[in-house]
A and B are shown apart, each in its own frame.
Chain A
Amino acid sequence: MDFFNSAIMGFQLAFQPINFMFCFIGVLIGTLVGVLPGLGPVAAMSLLLPVTFNVAPVSAIIVLSGIYYGAMYGGSTTSILVNIPGEAASVITCLDGYQMARQGRAGPALGIAAFGSFIAGTLSIVGLMFIGPFLAAGALRFGPPEYFAIMILGMTVLTFLASGPMWKALLMAAFGLFLSTIGMDNVSGIARLSFNIEELLDGIGLVPVVMGLFGISEVMLNVESSMDRSIFATKIKNILPNLKDWKASWGPIIRGTFLGFFLGILPGAGAVISSFASYAVEKKISKHPEKFGTGVIEGVAGPESANNAATGGAFIPLLSLGIPSNAVTALLLGALIIHGIQPGPLLIKEHPDIFWGTVASMYLGNILLLVLNLPLIGLWVKVLKVPYPVLFPLILLFCLIGAYSLNNSITDVTIMNIFGLIGYFFRKFRYEAAPLVLALVLGPMMENSLRQSLLLSDGNPLIFLNRPISSVILIIAFLLLAFPLIPWFNKKRPAFGE
């Protein structure tokens, strides 16, 4: 099936009423969780995951990915109007977005965030369409050692980019790997670290862990601080940016798109880093860098485009290699496996409907988001006015129901609660949960690749260095690990994630 036929098939799938509805529901929920501080796309997706068990795999992936890129759109609204980022990728938008709102320019800020997101989102899907199948074809030549090396690189990049000292991120990744080994060993059939608890034989589920670490702990932290938030009292008018705004913004949008897209492809990078990087680039090349932070539109257009472009980029390693690059794509990987689809280079060939249907639905979703975001901004502001003391029990209840309905098991609820408590302390002591989640997902795959590689080489670990692709990838991973030992790098490091 050639490229255009595949693309047309994808659009036919995306326009089927049921898939169109799922796409709409996905982007709507995504925008909503993006708007609401304290409930991010990861928690929302894990909540909805059990609900998607009964629908076709392509519809499930469409709704879940809709939440992901929808949240990137919605996140900007709170950053601009309340100075509280709806989710992590919109943190940097607060700097100039909120200042613009204070100057009575909330409309153009919201408008350019929506248009920038639309342009970047659409362009990144074009990139996904072209690069995804190409990379998958190349990856067919990969054997277990190459896969093992890529997964090592993915985890290394994520720990490299995590904020704070690198040993903390590595510790979290090691903890995630450790958790992934709980349960029955696939090869020997021996129960590992399950302490004769029957429920642990299947291992620790990703969804309760993610909900605990990202959902419950976030609520616990939020209730500690003052729960008052004031929406900037301004009448939002002139949402359409004027010609001067467009002139200032088109450069940042295009640069943010490319930066976000390529950073998104890198395992471990993703939307948060892209938005920070885009802001840094715009500030560096600007003729008036001193004005950044006082309400310049470039400071909104660049990062908001970058975080949306990164979502398209993040789908590339997931759909073409079967390797998730962040917590969100890890959940999508989990969803694919639950639906009996083996992610990997053969996915595009064996399940073209999943790849092309999802890609086409993303075009559709981006248009829906533009339609949703511009006229519905007033509605989102009303949602923001729901006081947090009333909202947080609802978030907790959603997490509880989500964890329970996964397997109709109270054990999952208990695991979620335990990880909620652990996540709370992680946040207190500034340990990032993302490397843990990625390691938890990659752990079983890594272990399989490691074992298969060693079987191929009769137990000789040099197999990873004897094969050119895996050796190059491992050398890159090693260099990334060695970077923090260089003093000048360490001095620069804290500014990145802070």
Chain B
Amino acid sequence: MPFLSGLAIGFFSIIGFIHATIRKNRGEVWDSFLKAVRWEKALIIIISLFAYGLLLGPIGFFLCTLLFIGFLLRVIVPQRWLLVIGGSLLITVASYVVFEVLLKAQLPKGFLGF
């Protein structure tokens, strides 16, 4: 099965390549998909998600979430500091209560112990 599915991926990729070549030969011009797109924000989001995954174990859910939400609120579309601090605290505490206390999700504790 892995071999057959790998073969299928290769086969359809070749079809895709031929398809694209035919279209290009017909005179179709492609724009770069990065053009006219604010992809920097998407990049920041994916980096912060990976950072969250890396830091969740060592520093624990509470601190990690606080930093994550605060960072996103401040950086992607900059909000006022009051909203950044208040919003990240509120979201972190609420999610901690809902998932850890009520739903017993066993979130990582980290060096702070919560």
A residues lining the B interface (CB < 8 Å): 50-51, 165, 167-168, 170-171, 174-175, 177-178, 181, 192-193, 216, 219-221, 223-225, 227, 389-390, 392-394, 396-397, 400-401, 404-405, 408, 410, 413-414, 417, 420-421, 424, 428-429, 443, 447, 450
Given the contacts A397-B69, A410-B57, A216 and B9 also touching, CB distance less than 8 Å:
no
Interface membership of B112, Cβ < 8 A: no
- B63 → chain A closest CB, angstroms: 14
For residue B5, which residues in chain A have a CB less than 8 angstroms away from its CB?
174-175, 177-178, 181, 443
* CB–CB A224/B38 < 8 A: yes
Q: Told that A396-B49, A413-B53 touch, could you supply 14 new A-B pairs with CB distance under 8 A?
A: A50-B105, A165-B19, A167-B12, A167-B15, A171-B8, A174-B9, A178-B6, A178-B9, A192-B2, A393-B68, A393-B72, A394-B69, A397-B95, A410-B56
Query: Chain A residues near B52 (CB, 8 Å)?
Result: 400, 413
29 A–B pairs (Cβ distance < 8 Å), ordered by A:
A167-B12, A167-B16, A171-B9, A171-B16, A174-B9, A177-B4, A177-B5, A178-B2, A178-B5, A178-B6, A216-B49, A223-B41, A390-B73, A390-B83, A390-B87, A392-B76, A393-B69, A396-B68, A397-B91, A400-B56, A405-B106, A410-B57, A413-B53, A413-B56, A414-B53, A420-B49, A428-B33, A443-B5, A447-B1
A392 to B49, CA, bound (A): 13
Q: Which of B8, B91, B107 contacts A393 (CB under 8 A)?
A: B91
A366 CB to closest chain B CB (Å) equals 27
Residues of A within 8 A of B41 (CB): 220, 223-224
Given A167-B15, A393-B91, A400-B49, decide whether A405 and B9 contact each other with a Cβ distance below 8 A: no
CB < 8 Å neighbour of B45 from A220, A227, A405: A220
Q: In whole angstroms, how far apart are the Cα atoms of A429 and B37 in the complex? A: 14
Q: Does the CB pair A410–B53 fall under 8 Å?
A: yes
- Residues on B with C-beta less than 8 A from A390 are 73, 79, 83, 87
Q: Are B12 and A174 in contact (CB under 8 A)?
A: yes
| B42 close to A220 (CB less than 8 A) | yes
Q: Is the CB of B42 within 8 A of A424?
A: yes
Query: With A174-B5, A393-B91, A397-B65 in contact, do A417 and B106 touch (Cβ < 8 Å)?
Result: no
Alpha-carbon gap, A170 to B108, bound state (A):
40
Which of B5, B39, B105 has its CB near the most chain A CB atoms (within 10 A)?
B5
Distance to closest chain A CB from B114 (angstroms): 15
Q: Which residues of B contact A (CB under 8 A)?
A: 1-2, 4-6, 8-9, 12-13, 15-16, 19, 33, 37-39, 41-42, 45-46, 49-50, 52-53, 56-57, 65, 68-69, 72-73, 76-77, 79, 83, 87, 91, 95, 99, 103, 105-108
Whose C-beta in chain B lies nearest to the C-beta of A415?
B53
CB distance from A195 to the nearest CB of B (A): 13
Please tell me if the beta carbons of B79 and A389 are within 8 angstroms of each other in the complex.
Answer: yes
Q: Report A-chain residues with C-beta under 8 Å of the C-beta of B103.
A: 51, 405
Given that A170-B12, A177-B1 are contacting pairs, would A389 and B57 also be in contact in the complex, using a CB cutoff of 8 Å? no
B112 to chain A, nearest CB (A): 17
Which chain A positions have C-beta within 8 A of B72? Answer: 392-393, 396
On chain B, the residues within 8 Å of A413 by CB distance are 52-53, 56
Q: How far is the CA of A159 from the CA of B73 in the complex (A)?
A: 39
Taking a contact as CB atoms under 8 Å apart, the answer to whether B33 and A223 are in contact is no
User: In the complex, A219 Cα to B2 Cα: how many Å?
Assistant: 32
Could you say which residues of chain A place their CB within 8 Å of the CB of B105? 50, 401, 404-405
Q: How far is the CA of A410 from the CA of B49 in the complex (A)?
A: 12
Closest beta carbon of chain B to A229's beta carbon, Å = 13
The answer to whether residues A223 and B42 also contact, given A178-B6, A396-B49, A401-B105 and a CB cut-off of 8 A, is yes
Distance in angstroms between the alpha carbons of A408 and B108 in the assembled complex: 8
Docked Cα-Cα span, A96 to B45, in Å, equals 35
CA of A175 to CA of B5, assembled, Å:
7
Q: Are A170 and B8 in contact (CB under 8 A)?
A: yes
Would A417 and B53 count as touching, CB distance under 8 A? yes
Instruction: A224 to B40: give the CA distance in the assembly, Å.
Output: 8
Chain A neighbourhood of B12, CB < 8 A: 167-168, 170-171, 174
Residues of B within 8 A of A450 (CB): 1
Q: Contacts A170-B12, A405-B107; is A224 near B53 (CB within 8 Å)?
A: no
Most buried by A among B9, B19, B69: B9
Question: B43 → chain A, closest Cβ, in Å?
Answer: 9
In the bound complex, CA of A175 to CA of B8 (Å): 8
Residues from chain A with a CB closer than 8 A to the CB of B49 are 216, 396, 400, 417, 420
Kindly state the separation between the CA atoms of A117 and B110 in the bound complex, as whole angstroms.
47
CB-CB under 8 A from A429, the residues of chain B are: 33
Contact across chains for A420 and B46 when beta carbons are under 8 A apart:
yes
Query: Chain B's nearest CB lies how many Å from the CB of A135?
Result: 28
Q: Hey, which chain A residues are within 8 Å of B1, CB to CB?
A: 177, 181, 443, 447, 450
Question: Considering residues B4, B12, B77, B79, which has the most beta carbons from chain A within 10 angstroms of its beta carbon?
Answer: B12
What residues on B are CB-neighbors of A424 within 8 Å? 42, 46
List, in ascending order, chain B residues with CB within 8 A of A405's CB: 99, 103, 105-107
Q: Is the CB of A223 within 8 A of B76?
A: yes
